[in-house]
Structure 1
Amino acid sequence: MSAKAGAVDDQPPLGDAAPHIEQGANAIHPLDTPIWNSLHGGWASLAQGDAQAIRLDRDHGPFAATAHGLPTEMTALAPLLPPGDELWLLGRDALAAPPPGMQVVRTAMLAQMVADRPVKIGGSGPDWQELGEADAPDMLDLALLTRPGPFRARTHRLGRFIGVREQGRLIAMAGERMRMPGFAEISGVCTHPDHRGQGLAGHLMRRIAGHMQDRGETPFLHAYASHDRTIALYRSLGFAVRAQLPMAVLSKA
């Protein structure tokens, strides 16, 4: 099955929806290939693979990328996918046909958003705290409950995470994931269902984004393109859509 041929969550076919992505060797912008650039940037010490195909250590996440999305490079992904695991691809890799022995099990269109202006942290807000190794089990539990995206046992080690606790229970968090020179991704944003509607996620995102900008990095994030309310929230925080990127999830056939 080719990811390029199918429709995505009631969106147009992927091949028609992302004309800004080059199919050659040169990407238009570093954020058009964020996984590849992160695996050669902030994730380099956790990267596994070769010059054709590369993935993040599976305990940290399922993300993988190829150099140019070519068929031979897609074939090089196969040894990086153990039984029972998945590989998540973005951009041109998501448009390529899966190699023999692998199949596309999920596709979606993502809105990639950036905050290229200073993010206002605002005034008073909930008490928050830095999250670390001692918080890892609670972070994983909250992520598995709310499903903000791929979150595994060591995802919390990919960057800074902060959160809000109430009576000892972690009820909201936000953190960092992809990172490359000049850019850092906000991810892992989630709030316990019992505590939504209080602005916790927005407050934590502002803190994380402000910290990135203090480091001289442009914050970016990904949201499902069909989730209008989520995108509206991110716009209110100072983010703007720069591109739509196709996503594909591969597993063993």
Structure 2
Amino acid sequence: MDRNPLLDNIFWHSLNGAHRHWSDGTAQVRRYTQGFSPIIAFADPAQPHLAALAPWCASGEHFYCDGWSGAAPPGWRIEVESTMFRMLWDGQLPAADPAPDALPLRAGHAPQALELATLCKPGPFGIRTIELGDYFGYFDGERLMAMAGERLCAPGLREISGVCTHPDYQGRGLAQQLIAKLLLRHAARGEQSFLHVMRTNPAHQLYLGMGFKDYLESTVRVIVAA
């Protein structure tokens, strides 16, 4: 698969690009502003200038970071280390939107979205994460059954993220329908869809079956500011 420099370091190109106004940091390292997804990105993952983030980090804050595999610098500790797949869409698009009745998630839905993400753990998620892109969900009354939306982006690239279904509503294909809805929207805008999934997540096989292909596997860490 051809390499794409933007996709290779997509967290940085998002935090230092389209999402710069929702991030804090320097020319070498940035984090999403508190309230958004707790993610840190590096201009060069081989040189993680974490000390420069001190003015914007509180003691005990937890962050996710990608692509960095060196020792933790002073003032930080590594709490979790694993790997994840970055996957690119390479399948057949549906002929029509399979989720026309899915509702856009607005600011008023943020508590419900955070509650579902806290339960299902699709990845780093904050009360303001749904502001990073278009999110859609299925509701049962006031209860959010399933959701999927957009997070990282760079020119020509858009991430599908926050994919989760409440355990009481699994097995109905709700998440797959929401993903397909986003795929169609991205294609209409001329964007290539991608997503992330942990190596240990069974959803990796589901995404392969849907038409995503592995682009790379990278180190992912949860780190804590001392």
User: What TM-score does the superposition give when structure 2 sets the normalisation length?
Assistant: 0.91
Structure 1 runs of 4+ off > 4 angstroms?
121-126
User: Taking structure 1 as reference, are residues 123 and 70 closer, same or farther at Cα in structure 2, changes over 3 Å only?
Assistant: closer
**Aligned partner of 1:142: which letter?**
L
- Quote the Cα distance in structure 2 between the aligned partners of 1:246 and 1:72: 14
Match of 1:252 in 2: 225
Asked whether 1:238 is paired with 2:214, we answer no
User: Taking structure 1 as reference, are residues 179 and 100 closer, same or farther at Cα in structure 2, changes over 3 Å only?
Assistant: same
Match of 1:165 in 2: 139
**Aligned partner of 1:193: which letter?**
P
* Aligned equivalent of 1:198, options 172, 181, 194: 172
What is the RMSD computed on CA atoms of the aligned residues?
2.0
Give how far 1:56 is off.
Answer: 1.1
* Aligned equivalent of 1:219, options 193, 202, 206: 193
- Aligned residues, how many? 224
Match of 2:24 in 1: 48
Give how far 1:201 is off.
Answer: 0.5
Give how far 1:37 is off.
Answer: 0.6
Give how far 1:80 is off.
Answer: 3.5
- Quote the Cα distance in structure 2 between the aligned partners of 1:250 and 1:49: 17
Q: Is the 8 A contact 1:186 1:220 kept in 2?
A: yes
| Larger relative strand fraction | 2
User: What TM-score does the superposition give when structure 1 sets the normalisation length?
Assistant: 0.82
User: Taking structure 1 as reference, are residues 167 and 133 closer, same or farther at Cα in structure 2, changes over 3 Å only?
Assistant: same
User: Taking structure 1 as reference, are residues 72 and 174 closer, same or farther at Cα in structure 2, changes over 3 Å only?
Assistant: closer
Q: Is the 8 A contact 2:29 2:48 kept in 1?
A: no
- Quote the Cα distance in structure 1 between the aligned partners of 2:140 and 2:116: 13
- Quote the Cα distance in structure 1 between the aligned partners of 2:210 and 2:147: 16
Superposed, which structure 2 residues align to 1:64-213 within 5 Å? 64-71=40-47, 73-91=49-67, 94-120=68-94, 127-213=101-187
Percent of residue pairs identical:
36
The gaps in structure 1 that reach 5 residues or longer are 1-26
1:127 aligned counterpart, secondary structure: coil
Give how far 1:40 is off.
Answer: 2.0
- Quote the Cα distance in structure 2 between the aligned partners of 1:140 and 1:72: 29
- Quote the Cα distance in structure 2 between the aligned partners of 1:237 and 1:177: 20
Q: Deviations over 1:25-82 (max 9, x none)?
A: xx96222211101012221111211112111112111111222235572432444421
Give how far 1:100 is off.
Answer: 0.4
Match of 1:4 in 2: none
- Quote the Cα distance in structure 1 between the aligned partners of 2:74 and 2:147: 39
Q: Is the 8 A contact 1:81 1:251 kept in 2?
A: no
- Quote the Cα distance in structure 2 between the aligned partners of 1:97 and 1:118: 42
Q: Is the 8 A contact 1:178 1:184 kept in 2?
A: yes
**Aligned partner of 1:44: which letter?**
R
The gaps in structure 2 that reach 5 residues or longer are none
Give how far 1:191 is off.
Answer: 0.5
Give how far 1:124 is off.
Answer: 5.5
Give how far 1:212 is off.
Answer: 1.3
